[in-house]
């Protein structure tokens, strides 16, 4: 798909990191303790999670195609089972972090995520992992990371009482799908992850579709 060019995905990836940093700069000591759409996490917890995930992406790339993520996905478990296992991993990693302010987590995230982004071009076509016969390349995994950054940017924005959507939500959705075949089993069985212009299984707006597909309510607001 021409919309899923390497340059387009990498640009959207960088935009996701940038907007997270811009939103994080708007938090105060008090608002870092505010709730987020990730119900179990305050904003400071989400900042810590971002730090952990960026470091995890480095590890997965270092060990590809035999990383712990690759071994988990190789079993072909359904998405809900994988989600529970990854949630436990996320909780354990978050608990192991030092108790530092949100800005420190965000600084560590930004350094790690940007470093990961610089590694992607030379490894783009390498296999990263497989899921039920679908090979996910490093480039496709970059799309998954891109999607994660934009989703968490929305989480931070909503925690601040603001809204956020990426500049090109259709590209972000297509890139994210390309890297997450475990979430789209019927699409994978037919012809691989959907791209721009294909029917959206979650509705009309591609950004709202992505929010709903990850269990988020587009109308979420602070109480």
Give me the residue spans of the domains in the chain. Answer: 2-213
Question: What integer pLDDT is reported at residue 1 of this predicted model?
Answer: 37
Mean pLDDT of the chain: 90
pLDDT, tens digit (0-9, with 9 covering 90-100), for 46-83:
999 999 999 999 999 999 999 999 999 999 999 899 99
pLDDT, tens digit (0-9, with 9 covering 90-100), for 75-119:
999 989 999 999 999 999 999 999 999 999 999 999 999 999 999
pTM tops 0.85, yes or no: yes
Question: What integer pLDDT is reported at residue 71 of this predicted model?
Answer: 96
**pLDDT score of 190 more than 50:** no
C-alpha–C-alpha distance, residues 128 and 137, integer Å: 5
Question: What integer pLDDT is reported at residue 192 of this predicted model?
Answer: 39
Q: Which two tokens stand for residue 51?
A: 């730090």
**pLDDT score of 188 more than 60:** no
Question: What integer pLDDT is reported at residue 85 of this predicted model?
Answer: 94
C-alpha–C-alpha distance, residues 213 and 208, integer Å: 8
Q: Taking residues 186-211, what's their average pLDDT?
A: 57
Map tokens 């939500």 to a residue: 169
Question: What integer pLDDT is reported at residue 203 of this predicted model?
Answer: 54
C-alpha–C-alpha distance, residues 162 and 90, integer Å: 26
Q: What are phi and psi of 98, to 5 degrees?
A: -65, 150
Kindly indicate the confidence band of residue 140, based on its pLDDT and cuts at 50, 70 and 90.
very high
Question: What integer pLDDT is reported at residue 44 of this predicted model?
Answer: 98
Kindly indicate the confidence band of residue 3, based on its pLDDT and cuts at 50, 70 and 90.
low
Kindly indicate the confidence band of residue 191, based on its pLDDT and cuts at 50, 70 and 90.
very low
């Amino acid at each position: 798909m021409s919309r899923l060019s390497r340059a387009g995905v990498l640009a959207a990836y960088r935009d996701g990191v940038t907007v997270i940093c811009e939103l994080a700069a708007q938090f105060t000591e008090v608002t870092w303790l505010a709730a987020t759409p990730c119900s179990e996490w305050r904003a400071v917890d989400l900042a810590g999670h971002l730090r952990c995930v960026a470091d995890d992406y480095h590890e997965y790339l270092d060990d590809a195609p035999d990383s712990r993520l690759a071994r988990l996905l190789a079993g072909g478990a359904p998405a809900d089972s994988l989600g529970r296992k990854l949630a436990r991993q996320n909780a354990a990693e978050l608990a192991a972090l030092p108790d530092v302010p949100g800005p420190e987590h965000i600084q560590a995230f930004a350094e790690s995520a940007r470093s990961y982004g610089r590694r992607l071009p030379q490894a783009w076509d390498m296999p990263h992992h497989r899921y039920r016969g679908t090979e996910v390349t490093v480039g496709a995994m970059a799309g998954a990371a891109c999607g994660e950054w934009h989703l968490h940017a929305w989480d931070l924005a909503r925690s601040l009482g603001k809204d956020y959507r990426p500049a090109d939500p259709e590209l972000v959705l297509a890139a994210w799908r390309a890297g997450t075949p475990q979430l789209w089993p019927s699409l994978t069985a037919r012809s691989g992850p959907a791209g721009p212009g294909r029917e959206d299984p979650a509705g009309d707006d591609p950004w709202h579709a992505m929010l709903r597909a990850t269990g988020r309510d587009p109308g979420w607001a602070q109480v």
